[in-house]
Amino acid sequence: MRSFLSERAKNTERSAIREILKYTQEPEVISFAGGLPKPETFPREGLAESAASQIRDNYEKSLQYGTTEGIKEFRQEMSSWLSEFGLELELKNIIATNSSQQAIDLVSKTFLDPGDRIFCGLPTYLGAVQAFSTFQAEKVGIPLEKDGMNLEILEKKIKDSKSSGRRAKFIYVIPDFQNPTGVTLSKKKRKKILDIAEEHDLLIIEDTPYFGVRFSKGFKKPIGTYDDNGRVITIASLSKILSSGMRLAVVGGPSELLANLVTMKQSTDLCTSTTTQWIAADWLKNNNLSDHLKELRKYYRENRDAMIEEMNRSFPKDEGISWTEPNGGLFIWVTLPEGMDSESVFEKGLENNVAFVPGHHFYVNGGGQNTMRLSYSLLNPEKIREGINRLGKVLEKELSPISQ
Ligand SMILES: Cc1ncc(COP(=O)(O)O)c(C=O)c1O
C-alpha cells in the first residue's frame, strides 16, 4: 500500500502529541499535555446570539459560498482590532483562513519546493513542522534564548545555507508567548530579524495565536508593523481568544503574496466557512474583543500563577532545573539537568497519574531530551497544584540516581 503514497505523504509523520494525548485522557490523570484553550473562556452567549441572527436573518450570505479571500465584514472587523496594535491592514492586505494551521499550510504550499530551507525556533510548534515536512522543506532549528531566537546563530545558518547553494525561503517565528516555551521575542530582536530577512532576501512568517492572551500591560508590536518592504506575513488566529471550533484566522501581508496564497487556497477549500465568518463578524461588531480579553486573561493568569507557585514549592531544589515564567500564552517550559530524560519522567508520571509533553518532540534537529512542556490552560488552580506536586515527587525520584 505504501507504493501508492506520494513522496509528500511519506515525508509527513503523524503528530506525536496527538498520539500522546490518547494516553492522557483517563479521568484520573492530571494532564498538562494538551494545549487546548478553556471552552468557558469563549463568549458563548454572545456567539449564540450572533449565530442565531446570522443564520436566521442573513442566511442568503451566511449559508452560501463566499469569496476565497473571505467576507469583507469579517476582514474589516479583524483589521480594525489589529490596528489597535499598530498593524494597519487595508482590505487587500488581509484574508481569512481556516485558522492559523491552514495559513501555515498555505504558506508552505505557496513558497516551498522540495529541499528548500526554512528557519524556525528550536524548539517550535509541531503543527508547523508537519506542514513544512509535507512540502519537503529542510528545517533548520535556531536555538531560543530568553528573548527569542538567537539571531547570531540564525545569521550564521543562513550564510551556511547560501554557501552550500541551498535556497532558503523563510523564517518562521512565533513572537508572543511561544509554543512550546512561553518565550517572547524582544522588540530589539523583532527589528533585527527583519533586517536579517532584508539582507538575505527571506520572508518572515509571523504566527501569533497567543498575542491576545497577555498577562502584563505592555505589548510588543507585531513584526509586520515594522515591515516596509513587503516581507512579513502575519497570521492572527481567533482560536485561543474567541473559539477554536470556529476555525478562524486572518493573514495580513503584502497584497501580491496574499494573492498567491488565495490561488493556493482555491484548490484547498474554495473558501473559509462563511457561516463562522459571519458569526464572528457580528460578534466583533457588537462586542469589544479587547474588553473580552481582559476577562480571559484573568483566568489564564491565575492558572499560570498557581503552576509557578507550586513548582517553586514542590520541584526539587536542584540548580539544573529551571523553567520559564511566561507573560502570556498557555505554556511553561521546564529544563531538567543534562543527562536526565523527560521520556522516562513521562512514563513515571503516567504511573502516578500526571502527564506532560516530553520536549524533544518540538526539536526539528534532535535534542531537547531534558525538557518538558506543561500547559496550564484547562485545569483549575487546585488541580494544577495537585498535578505539579505529583510531578515534583516523580522528579525527586528520577533525580536521585543522577546525583549519586
Ligand atoms: C504556534 C501555533 N500556531 C498555530 C496553531 C494552530 O492553531 P489554530 O489553527 O487553531 O489557529 C497553534 C495551536 O496550538 C499554535 O500553537
Which of 2, 95, 29, 7 lies closest to 356 in space, CA to CA?
29
Burial class (CB in 10 A: 0-12, 13-18, 19+), 391: buried
Is residue 327 lining ligand 1, measured as CB closer than 6 Å? no
Q: Helices (DSSP H) in 24-166: which residue ranges?
A: 44-57, 59-62, 72-83, 99-111, 126-134, 151-163
Where do the CATH 3.40.640.10 domains begin and end in the chain? 44-288
Strands 371-375 and 168-173: unpaired
Determine if ligand 1 sits within 6 Å of the CB of residue 126. no
| pTM confidence score | 0.96
Q: Which CATH number fits domain 44-288: 3.40.50.2300, 3.40.640.10, 1.10.287.610, 3.40.50.1980?
A: 3.40.640.10
- Inform me whether the pLDDT recorded for 401 exceeds 80: no
Q: How confident is the model at residue 17 (pLDDT cuts 50, 70, 90)?
A: confident
Query: What is the percentage of the chain residues whose pLDDT exceeds 90?
Result: 90
Contact (CB, 8 A) for 151 and 192: yes
* 173-232 confidence digits (pLDDT tens): 999 999 999 999 999 999 999 999 999 999 999 999 999 999 988 889 999 999 999 999
For ligand 1, atom 11: residue with the closest CA: 100
| pLDDT, tens only, 336-360 | 999 999 999 999 999 999 999 999 9
Instruction: Verify whether ligand 1 is closer than 6 Å to residue 174 (CB atom).
Output: yes
Ligand 1 pocket: which of 126, 129, 132, 179 to mutate (most atoms within 8 A of CB) = 179
Q: Give the mutation target among 98, 176, 185, 239 for probing the ligand 1 site: most ligand atoms within 8 A of CB.
A: 239
For residues 71 and 91, what is the distance between their CA atoms, to the nearest angstrom?
10
pLDDT on residue 400 = 79
What's the 211 CA to ligand 1 centre distance in angstroms? Answer: 12
On whether the 2-42+291-403 domain is CATH 3.90.1150.10, my answer is yes
Q: Kindly state if the Cβ of 125 falls inside 6 Å of ligand 1.
A: yes
- Measured in Å, residue 356 CA sits from the centre of ligand 1 at 18
Distance CA 206, CA 176 (A): 10
- Residue 68 has a CB neighbour count (10 Å cut-off) of 20
Q: Calculate mean pLDDT across residues 368-390.
A: 97
Q: Which of 36, 177, 237 to mutate to test the pocket of ligand 1 (most atoms within 8 A of CB)?
A: 237
Q: In the chain, which segments carry CATH 3.90.1150.10?
A: 2-42+291-403
237 CB near ligand 1 (under 6 Å): yes
